[in-house]
Amino acid sequence: MLSKRLFSTFRVLQHDNPLGLPRSGTPPSFPRRRGLPEKRKIRDVKKVIAVSSAKGGVGKSTIAVNLALAFARRGIRTGILDTDIFGPSIPTLLNLSGEPRLDENNCLLPLTNYGLKSMSMGYLLPQPSPPSSTPQSSPDPNPIPMDSTPISWRGLMVTKAMHQLLHSVTWGALDVLFLDLPPGTGDVQLTINQEIQLDGAVVVTTPQDIALRDAVRGIGMFQRMDVPVLGMVRNMAFFSCPCCGTATEIFGHGHAHLKGKEEEWGVRAECRRLGVEFLGDVPLDGAVCADADRGVPTVVAEENNPDSKRRGAFLEIAERVAGRVGVQW
Ligand SMILES: Nc1ncnc2c1ncn2[C@@H]1O[C@H](COP(=O)(O)OP(=O)(O)O)[C@@H](O)[C@H]1O
Ligand SMILES: [Mg+2]
């Protein structure tokens, strides 16, 4: 018994760090599956576009849903798949809930709003029960109950859920499917990149260096996996004042005067350096956030306002993306 314990302690001490990864020399090799899974198309879907950012909270889901709606509202048959297993946003953004029905082949049927089909892990989780008695005199300012079910899964379960979302949804005929990717360049991203034939990736960043660095890493991942990078979107590019309409570049503007000559840095400069298209700016605007929170994204909320600059920003980017993947606008 004692020798066994000593032996196991000894084995642990052999490692250079708690994960057992050596600090020097060649990285450890893992047992390999026989060959990589073959990339396949999603059934009945013509084009698949991933919206990614590597960093969380930069507006990936907001951009993804507004781009998808811009397509859908033009009559292009469009869907959006929420691949953020741990933080699904699409149900809130599209104001949809409830368990999806199954077809005769036990495949999930998407839920639709505003002409956009959608599927999300959020639909498959237990629904929070509505408050039992709401006093009539005090209307609840936040009537959508928040779900407190934690999603804490290990890698294998995440991969299994991902497989189901990628391969067991009956989309019907779609021209374009947008994938709203979770932050990072981890398990989910690799599974998608290895198994699905992506037609392109839109990379979202904010102007700050800290977000841009991660976005550039994300671009590297797509390029290494032979996925065409359609371009970068600069979200929260400037603050659009709701009172006077003045645009303030609160995160910097990408130019600096150094030793008498103007240097360009930031998103546009990185696009040029990497040979990636700059797809456009989306303003930091309270209305974009409020529209998202109440489940009526800006592209739909301001449909009757042809002068809306924030809606116009999404439409311009959508048109560029359509052009890049060969979808008629
Ligand atoms: N352009 C914008 N203007 C104002 N708020 C925004 C904008 N883009 C995103 N947001 C808000 O920022 C938060 C994070 O956005 P989200 O799309 O969920 O990011 P991600 O998917 O990258 O984590 C949300 O509350 C969203 O409404
Ligand atoms: Mg998101």
Contact (CB, 8 A) for 68 and 189: no
- Residue 236 is given by DSSP the state E
Phi, psi of 38 (to 5 degrees): -80, 140
> What's the whole-number mean pLDDT along residues 137-145?
56
Query: Which atom in ligand 1 lies closest to the alpha carbon of residue 56?
Result: 23
Ligand 1 mean position, distance from CA 203 (Å): 14
In this prediction, residue 286 has a pLDDT band, given cuts at 50, 70 and 90, of: very high
Q: Confirm or reject: Cβ of 220 under 6 Å from ligand 1.
A: no
Query: Ligand 1 pocket test: which of 62, 146, 179 has the largest number of ligand atoms within 8 Å of its C-beta?
Result: 62
- In this structure, what token pair is assigned to residue 144? 């959508």
Whole-number pLDDT of residue 248: 87
More confident of the two residues 56 and 264: 56
Helices (H) and strands (E) in the chain, counts: 11, 11
DSSP string, 56-82: TTSSHHHHHHHHHHHHHHTT--EEEEE
Ligand 1 mean position, distance from CA 18 (Å): 36
The string of pLDDT tens digits covering residues 62-120 is: 999 999 999 999 999 999 999 988 889 999 999 999 889 999 999 999 999 999 999 99
Domains of the chain and any CATH numbers: 45-123+151-325 (3.40.50.300)
Q: Is the pLDDT of residue 202 over 90?
A: yes
In this prediction, residue 254 has a pLDDT band, given cuts at 50, 70 and 90, of: low
Query: Which atom in ligand 1 lies closest to the alpha carbon of residue 204?
Result: 22
Q: Whose CA is nearest to atom 16 of ligand 1?
A: 59
Give the ligand at the shortest distance from the Cα of 122.
2
pTM for this one?
Answer: 0.83
CA distance 72 to 59: 20
Residue showing tokens 């309270």? 286
CA distance 162 to 192: 8
**Nearest Cα residue to 193 out of 83, 267, 119:** 83
